[in-house]
Chains A and B, each alone.
Chain A
Amino acid sequence: MIEILSSSALATVQDQGREGYLRYGVGTAGAMDRLALAVGNLLLGNPDDAAGIEIPMFPFRVRFLADMAFAITGADCPARLNERALLPWWTVQAKEGDVLTIGVPTSGTRCYLTLAGGVDVPVVLGSRSTQLRGQFGGYDGRQLQKGDVLKAVGEGARTMPLDAPRAAGFGTVPPEFTLPAASALPGATADETAVRVLPAAEYECYCPESLEAFWREGWKVTPQSDRYGYRLAGPTLTAMHAVEKRSHGIVPGVIQVPHNGHPIIQLRDAQPSGGYPKIGTVIEADLWRLAQARIGTKIRFVQTTYPEAVAALEELGGYLARVRNLVELFRSSRH
């Protein structure tokens, strides 16, 4: 068990998402950076569908009420277990009474805390993710609060030897050092996030100058950006004629253009339907990069094709398979 010590808002229990219910109007929810959550679960030998805690506000503090292995992945945060500094993308064993402090990230925005076995909350409609809009799933369908106590699945069943290497833990190289990003664009700076985008249904409805600006400009992530979606600031996108659509299904990653001409990228907690025209879609394989883009930084859109988007997703799957294989070898070689 762990107890939440900080009153940091917006931390939620999330797994890989609630698939298959969009047609009933239930959004997917799930981790914004699914890759970070997946690696955290792999480091611990957890099932792929295990839930972790998504932390977007810092510092975040928890106390371990029992001996437990955990992992931190995602944004690079200065983390400490009691006084001992922890490396990013790392798993380590905590002892009862230990306090974990996760500080303000030096890069990225969302940190994932995963527990051995996964966070034990009821599965609702096939997922442990918090559905904030519907107020169900996760921990009582809400954000975590100071004083909340969370259990891990199968807690107490495991006994981990506390030998020196286990106590020091091990980790993975953060994926941004392994997975190639979209090709660097002229004029793009280091703190810009390049994501690959497929033109969407209403792409052709926009003025050529607007389309040119869409690919050329850096789009600033405004403070009105969260799990629901990112509102972007940049040039106004103008359609050649008014585009009126009935509400239709949308998925995380869809870039809509409301009447004001400033695009919105719909994300994990977005409504499953909307009527705004869609200029593009951020490919699934790059949504984790978007999840770590900070407010005030810029996003660059790089045009891609459907086969490239599928290849990128396969590359992501291959990366996770390699990490899984290596972690299994490393863990089994210890015993």
Chain B
Amino acid sequence: MTEKNEVDIGELRQITSWLAAADVEFIEIGRPAATVRLTMEKPPRTKLRTRTVHAPDDADGASEPPIAASASSVAVTAHCAGIFLVTHPARSTPLVSVGARVDGGEIVGLLRIAQLCVPVLAPVDGVVVGTLVAHGATVGYGTRLIELAPSA
């Protein structure tokens, strides 16, 4: 990174390519003297939820657990970077537990981004098979968080 507070165009170009590769739409970079906001122009996303069902390129293949290969399981993935919470900060009971039946669109976890709490939603109706990430773990975009067995 440059020591000056000026914005380096080459650096922005690099960041933009990373954003495109990771399918990230927006980033804000704060420096002491400047704030840079990059917004990726893209066609409106239609089938937002279905992408979470199969994400072959976001996990390293070696550690792919065999359960993920079973045709019936669906991974709930992170739609942004944050700290994964299975329990709301003010509450003592988890939002969902293993074996719980959930509806598509139901909140099954939270991502904490500084002071914000953003919901993690079940993509389909189903039963919670397991939590793949520990409470309090920092996760990136696309991280598989919870495994669901979709209802027939």
Residues of A within 8 A of B (CB): 76, 87-90, 107, 163-165, 167-174, 177-178, 319, 322-323, 326-327, 329-330, 332-333
Contacts and interface: CB of A to CB of B under 8 A. Distances in A.
Interface residues of B, number: 21
A170 B26 contact: no
B121 interface: yes
10 contacts: A76-B91, A163-B48, A168-B121, A171-B117, A173-B115, A322-B114, A323-B115, A323-B116, A326-B115, A326-B116
B28 interface: yes
Nearest to B26: A333
Interface string B86-114: 00111100000000000001110000111
A87 B95 CA distance: 10
Contacts of B28: 329
Contact of B119 (A165, A323, A327): A165
Given A168-B105, A173-B116, A326-B113, 10 more contacts: A88-B90, A88-B91, A89-B90, A107-B90, A168-B119, A171-B116, A172-B117, A173-B115, A174-B89, A322-B115
Contacts of B117: 87, 89-90, 170-173
A172 B119 contact: no
B135 interface: no
A173 B117 CA distance: 6
A87 B94 CA distance: 12
Contacts of A164: 48-49, 105, 121
A332 B113 CA distance: 15
